[in-house]
């Protein structure tokens, strides 16, 4: 709704938008409460000029067309409830749901199909029968399939551990790329300080204690270089930027927001992805188990979305990002400059207050 205002995020990151909001609140305080401030008029003029520049920049950015190569993507929203997701009695039902919805998308001729986070109700690669069933199904599609799955990692000292991963299958049914989630959810996917407090291990005994990935892996296909974010990784600007910095020209985020229920959280989670698209000038493809799934272009425009807690199949043409933004190149330099400026103001105020304090003290004596 405020696309003109937030286009500056490709320069300043999301902190530039926060700066505008904070500056407006400071100005309103001076105008309505701190009426003795001698800077009221100057501040009002400066903010008006700043706002005009931001809106002018935003309108120019939005007027630009998408010039990247297009490819077609279908996202699948299975709408699997939490009580069924890991219940072995519903395993076949869950798998059949994703197969059915995927086949529904095939007449559109997608170059890639995306399933949500932990879409498979089994450990891919460990359960041989169900893994082979998934690969056989994939070979019949003759297109790329990207899905979320728990994987078994047997390289950890002291036993096996699990990763929350995204797996990309080629049209031939081969595993083309695997990305392991790097930023795990505390107390959901791992327990902090579990070695110091042994009894808390029981908190994750049912699902295993996940280990984080270590690589910003970019998945390469003939039509795009994909940076894959799992669940709430999309909310971290620096993490997302690292994928684009390493060559990703499309972002795919897979998630399971069923935990949130019918609250504002699924909508907020989706809205955050808009900023990541603008900051790095790359499109975002989102597949969520219970919604919201959809597509966001490099200007933050939302082309298609699903409702929450319904099955959905969405297909859209996506144009890859073609240019590297200032934010991608330099990161949160604007935020660092703001911190430096604030420190200088504090030091200046302390320095100017000393003569006043010394004068007041001498008068008291």
Q: Which helix (H) or strand (E) segment is 63 a member of?
A: helix 40-63
202 alpha-carbon distance from chain centroid: 30
Residues 6+ apart with CB under 8 A from 176: 144, 168, 169, 170, 219, 220, 221
Q: Which of 117, 189, 233, 316 is catalytic?
A: 117
Q: Which helix (H) or strand (E) holds 151?
A: strand 144-153
Distance CA 347, CA 322 (A): 43
Cβ contacts of 136 within 8 Å, gap of 6 or more: 173
Tell which residue, 232, 228, 253, 256, has the closest CA to residue 242.
Answer: 228
Tell me whether residue 1 is one of the annotated catalytic residues: no
CB 125 within 8 A of CB 165: no
Q: What is the dihedral of CA 124, 284, 250, 328, to 10 degrees?
A: -120
117: annotated active-site residue: yes
Annotated catalytic residue: which of 181, 225, 233, 279? 181
HSE (CB half, 13 Å, CA atoms) of 354?
5
State the greatest distance between any 2 C-alpha atoms of the chain, in Å, as a whole number: 92
Would you call 108 a catalytic residue per the annotation? no
* Options 142, 189, 214, 231, the catalytic residue: 231
Neighbours of 4 (CB within 10 A): 16
Active site residues: 117, 181, 231
């Amino acid at each position: 709704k405020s696309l003109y205002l937030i286009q500056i995020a490709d320069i300043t990151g999301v902190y530039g938008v926060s700066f505008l909001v904070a500056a407006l609140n400071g100005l309103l305080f001076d105008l309505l409460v701190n009426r003795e401030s001698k800077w009221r008029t100057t501040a009002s003029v400066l903010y008006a000029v700043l706002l005009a520049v931001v809106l002018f920049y935003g309108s120019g950015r939005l007027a630009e067309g998408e010039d990247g190569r297009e490819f077609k993507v279908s996202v699948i929203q299975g709408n699997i409830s939490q009580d069924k997701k890991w219940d072995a009695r519903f395993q076949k039902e869950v798998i059949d749901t994703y197969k059915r919805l995927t086949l529904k998308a095939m007449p559109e001729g997608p170059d890639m199909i995306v399933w949500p986070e932990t879409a498979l109700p089994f450990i891919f690669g460990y359960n041989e029968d169900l893994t082979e069933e998934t690969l056989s199904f994939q070979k019949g599609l003759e297109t790329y399939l990207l899905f979320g799955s728990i994987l078994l990692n047997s390289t950890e000292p002291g036993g096996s551990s699990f990763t929350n991963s995204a797996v990309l299958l080629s049209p031939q049914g081969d595993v083309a790329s695997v990305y392991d989630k790097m930023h795990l959810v505390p107390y959901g996917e791992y327990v902090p300080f579990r070695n110091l407090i042994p009894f808390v291990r029981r908190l994750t005994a049912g699902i295993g204690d996940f280990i984080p990935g270590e690589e910003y892996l970019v998945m390469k296909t003939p039509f795009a270089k994909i940076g894959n974010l799992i669940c709430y990784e999309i909310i971290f600007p620096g993490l997302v930027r690292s994928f684009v910095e390493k060559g990703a020209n499309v972002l795919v985020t897979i998630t399971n927001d069923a935990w949130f229920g019918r609250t504002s959280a699924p909508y907020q989670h989706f809205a955050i992805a808009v900023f990541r698209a603008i900051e790095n000038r790359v499109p975002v493809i989102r597949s969520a188990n219970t919604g919201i799934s959809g597509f966001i272009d490099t200007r933050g425009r939302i082309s298609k979305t699903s409702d929450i807690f319904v099955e959905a199949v969405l297909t859209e043409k996506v144009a890859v990002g073609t240019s590297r933004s200032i934010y991608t190149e330099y990161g949160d330099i604007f935020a660092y400059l703001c911190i430096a400026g604030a420190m200088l103001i504090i030091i200046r105020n302390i320095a100017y207050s000393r003569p006043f304090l010394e004068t007041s003290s001498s008068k008291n004596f």
